[in-house]
Amino acid sequence: MAEAGKLQAGLIGLRGTVAPAFGLMQRPRAGARRADQEAGVGDLPVGVDIIEPPMMFELEKAGLKIADGQQVMLEAREIRISMRSRCSNRAAAMVDGAIT
């Protein structure tokens, strides 16, 4: 679990509406590299499921290796949806039991 203050929101370039020359993607590049080094995972690839090309290029310029993480994220979402469904069913059964 991430420590408080260590989480950062995803950054979007609005699918190309923000020109790369604006520099929107450059600031996170340095932060991502520094965070990886501090965490001791600087040599490992960064798995992404959705990324805009300008951000990918900036991360690669920083020396980060980008890896396809889409299948891992899809599998994680499938597990989460299954767990959420079971929890909802259990909660509904508890409410039903309390009412009757």
- 32-50, pLDDT tens digit by residue? 777 777 877 767 888 888 8
What is the chain's Cα-based Rg?
19
DSSP designation for 63: T
**Tokens 């590299």, located at residue:** 33
Q: Give the closest residue to 38 by CA, choosing from 70, 2, 85, 89.
A: 2
pLDDT digits (tens, 9 = 90+) for 40-94: 776 788 888 888 888 888 888 888 888 888 888 888 888 888 889 889 989 999 9
pTM of the model as a whole: 0.53
**Tokens 């979402």, located at residue:** 77
